[in-house]
Amino acid sequence: MAYTVPKLRDFSPATLDKAAEKLLEALVHDSSAVKNEVEWKAFRDHWMARKDGVLTNLNDLWLKAAPKDAKRDVGQRVNELKKKVEEEVDAAKQKAERASAGSQSDGDRLDITLPGIQRPIGAEHPIIRTSNEMVAVFRDLGYSVQEGPEIETDYYNFESLNFPPNHPA
């Protein structure tokens, strides 16, 4: 990945063909060296980076430096090279993805059908926590805990115990 764009002095079609051929050879060579996603990112950044990528240097050193009468031919050639670079970068990405998918063994693969770990949301209220601690203490002492209604009706408090209706209790 050490290709640098040459500065052209002659913008004739033969010179452009020769320079483009060298660029494509370097592109194919660099693309064939890509084996995983990390190498692909470095490859993509080298060829397509906005600041110091090969395509950016093509614009700066070829298109901007070309004389007016050659700009059309140079622009067409640069656009063709951009398309080829983009295609090669996409092909290298697919190759890297296939290689990384093929290199994972069965034990390394993530089984997405497994249930995830459900983490509790929030915290227990202090009153409920204190109540649970008190219940735990009494259970440890041998008591049993039973739950009932929090408010009893008049029938269960008085009438079922045979209190007269005007009794002061």
- Tens of pLDDT along 104-145? 555 566 778 878 888 888 899 999 999 999 999 999 999 998
In this prediction the pTM is: 0.56
Alpha-helical (H) ranges within the chain are 13-32, 37-48, 54-58, 71-103, 126-140, 154-157
* Residue 143 to residue 166: CA distance in whole angstroms: 37
